[in-house]
Chains A and B, each alone.
Chain A
Amino acid sequence: MIINIIFILIVPLLFLGIIIRVKAIWAGRKGASILQPTYDVIKLLRKSEIISSSTGFIFEIASVVSLALLLGASLLVPFGNYHAIISFKGDFILFTYLLAFSKFISTLSSLDTGSSFEGMGASRELSYTAFLEPAFLMIMASLVYATGLGSMSELVASHTVNMSNTWSVIISVLTILGLFIMMLIEGSRVPFDDPTTHLELTMVHEVMVLDNSGPNLAGMTYAGALKMTMYASLISYFVIPWERGLWFVTGFYFLMMFLQAVAVGLIESIMPRFRMSRNLELAIIPLTLVLLVMFALVVYRFGGV
Chain B
Amino acid sequence: MTITGFVLLTLALVFALTKQTKLFVVSVLTGSVFLIVAAVQTIFFNESVIWLMTLPQPWGTAEMGYTPLSAFFAIIIGFGSSMSVLYGSGYLKKYSREGLSSHLFFLGLLIISMNLTVYLRHSMLFFLAWEMMSLSSFMCILFEHKLSETRKSAIYYFSFMQVSAFFLLIGFGLAYKQTGSFDFGAFQDLGYLPALFIGIGFAIKTGFFPFYSWLPIAYPAAPSHVSGLMSGVMMKTGIYGILLLMAMTNISLTAMYVIAGISLLTAFLGVIHALAESDVKKVIAYSSIENAGIIGLGIAFAHIGLLTEHTVMAGLSMVGLLLHSLNHSLFKPLLFFLSGNISQQTHTREIDQLGGLQKRMPSTGTLFLIGSLAISGMPMFNGFISELFIYLGMLDGLNRNNFNLNIGSILCAAGLTFVGALALFAFVRLYGLVFLGEPRSDKARNAVEVSKSMITTPGILAGLCFLLGLPGSIYLNFFNHILQYQGFWFEITPALTKAFNLVSLVFLIIGILILIMLILRRRIVKEVHPTWGCGYEKPSSRMQYTGNSMIHPLAYFIKPFIKKQDVMNYDKALFPESFTFEAKVHDFIHETLITPVKKAVLAFLNLFAGIQKGNTQVYISYGLVFLLIVLTWAILVVK
Chain A residues at the B interface, C-beta cutoff of 8 Å: 48-58, 60-61, 64-65, 67-69, 71-72, 75-76, 86, 88-91, 93-94, 96-98, 100-101, 103-104, 107-108, 111-117, 119-120, 122-124, 126-127, 129-138, 141-142, 144-149, 200, 210-211, 214-215, 280, 290, 294, 298
Q: Which residue of B lies closest to A294 (CB)?
A: B410
CB closest chain-B residue, reference A46: B524
Closest chain B residue to A75, Cβ basis:
B506
In the complex, 22 of the A-B residue pairs with CB atoms within 8 angstroms, ordered by the A residue number, are A51-B526, A51-B528, A52-B531, A53-B528, A57-B358, A60-B521, A64-B521, A67-B517, A89-B495, A103-B424, A111-B436, A112-B436, A114-B355, A120-B549, A122-B550, A123-B553, A126-B425, A126-B428, A129-B421, A130-B421, A145-B406, A215-B524
| Nearest-neighbor residue (CB-CB) of B397 within chain A | A149
Chain B residues within 8 Å of A76, by CB: 506
Give bound CA distance, A280 to B415, whole Å: 18
A101 to B532 Cα, complex, angstroms: 26
Give the residues in chain B near A98, CB-CB below 8 Å.
379, 506, 510
- In angstroms, Cα B419 to Cα A131, docked, is 10
Interface status of B551 (Cβ within 8 A of chain A) = yes
B460 smallest CB distance to A (angstroms): 22
Known: A48-B525, A51-B529. Contact between A86 and B502, CB under 8 A? yes
Q: Is the CB of B392 within 8 A of A90?
A: yes
Chain B contact-residue range equals 35 or more
Q: Which of A90, A101, A108, A137 contacts B436 (CB 8 A)?
A: A108
B505 contacts the other chain (CB 8 A)? yes
Instruction: Tell me whether chain A's interface is mostly helix, strand or loop, or mixed.
Output: helix
**A90-B392, A133-B420 known; A116 and B545 CB under 8 Å?**
yes
Q: Which residues of B contact A50 (CB under 8 A)?
A: 526-529
Tell me, rounded to whole Å, the shortest Cβ–Cβ distance linking A109 to chain B: 9
Give, as a whole number of angstroms, the nearest-CB distance from B386 to chain A.
12
- 9 A-B pairs with the lowest CB-CB distances in the bound complex, closest first: A119-B545, A114-B437, A111-B432, A48-B525, A88-B499, A68-B513, A127-B553, A72-B510, A148-B399
**Separation of A130 and B529 alpha carbons in the complex (Å):** 34
Q: What distance in Å separates the Cβ of A114 from its nearest Cβ neighbour in chain B?
A: 3
Nearest to A72 among chain B residues (CB) is B510
Given contacts A49-B526, A72-B510, contact A129 B398 (CB under 8 A): no
Contact B359–A56 (Cβ < 8 Å): yes
CB distance from A286 to the nearest CB of B (A): 12
B509 at the interface (CB under 8 A from A): yes
- For A88, list chain B residues within 8 Å (CB): 495, 498-499, 502-503
For A147, the closest partner residue in chain B by CB is: B399
Shortest CB distance A285–B (Å): 14
Cβ-defined contact, A141 with B414, below 8 A = yes
Give complex CA distance A55, B466 in Å.
Answer: 25
Q: A69-B379, A101-B378, A104-B376 are known contacts; what are 8 more A-B pairs with Cβ within 8 Å? A: A54-B356, A86-B502, A86-B505, A108-B431, A114-B544, A119-B545, A136-B417, A137-B414
- Measured in the bound complex, the distance between the Cα atoms of B87 and A277 in whole Å is 46
B243–chain A nearest beta-carbon distance, Å: 25
Q: Are A211 and B378 in contact (CB under 8 A)?
A: no
A210 touches B528 (CB 8 A): no
Closest B residue to A200 by beta carbon equals B534
B413 within 8 Å of A (CB atoms): yes
Which residues of the other chain, A, contact B525 by a CB distance below 8 angstroms? 48-49
Is there an interface contact between A211 and B532, defined as CB atoms closer than 8 Å?
A: yes
In the complex, what residues of A have CB within 8 A of residue B495's CB?
88-89
Bound CA–CA A141/B405 (angstroms): 13
Cβ contact within 8 Å between B398 and A141: yes
Q: How far is the CB of A221 from the nearest CB of chain B, in Å?
A: 15
Cα(A259)–Cα(B536), bound, Å: 43
Q: A88-B495, A111-B437 are in contact. Are A49 and B524 (CB under 8 A)?
A: yes
A72 touches B506 (CB 8 A): yes
Query: What separation, in Å, do the CA atoms of A149 and B501 have in the docked complex?
Result: 18
Are the CB atoms of A90 and B391 closer together than 8 Å?
yes
Contact of B410 among A71, A133, A136, A145 (CB under 8 A): A145
Counting chain A CB atoms within 10 Å of each CB, the highest count among B373, B417, B521 belongs to B417
B403: which A residues are within 8 A, CB to CB? 298
Q: Is the CB of B432 within 8 A of A108?
A: yes
In the bound assembly, the distance between CA atoms of A24 and B544 in angstroms comes to 37
Contact of B424 among A104, A141, A148 (CB under 8 A): A104
In the complex, B56 has a CB within 8 A of chain A: no
A115 CA to B521 CA in the complex, in Å?
Answer: 24
**What is the CB-to-nearest-CB distance from B438 to chain A, in angstroms, rounded to a whole number?**
4
Q: How far is the CA of A120 from the CA of B437 in the complex (A)?
A: 13
Type the 1/0 row for B552-569, where 1 means its CB is closer than 8 Å to any CB of A. Answer: 111011000000000000
The reply to whether A123 and B388 form a contact with Cβ atoms under 8 Å apart is no
**Whole-angstrom distance between the alpha carbons of A95 and B165 in the complex?**
44
Contacts of B556 in A (CB 8 A): 280
Of the candidates B391, B438, B531, the one having the most CB atoms from chain A within 10 angstroms of its own CB is B531
Which residues of B sit under 8 angstroms from A130, Cβ to Cβ? Answer: 418, 421-422, 425, 554
Determine the distance from Cα of A71 to Cα of B471 in the docked complex, in whole angstroms. 20
**Chain B residues whose C-beta falls within 8 Å of the C-beta of A126 in the assembled complex:** 424-425, 428-429
Alpha-carbon distance between A57 and B521 when the two chains are bound, in angstroms? 13
B530 in contact (CB, < 8 A): yes
Question: Do the beta carbons of B530 and A52 come within 8 Å of each other?
Answer: yes
- Interfacial chain B residues near A67, Cβ < 8 Å: 513, 517
- Interchain CB contact under 8 A, A114 and B436: yes
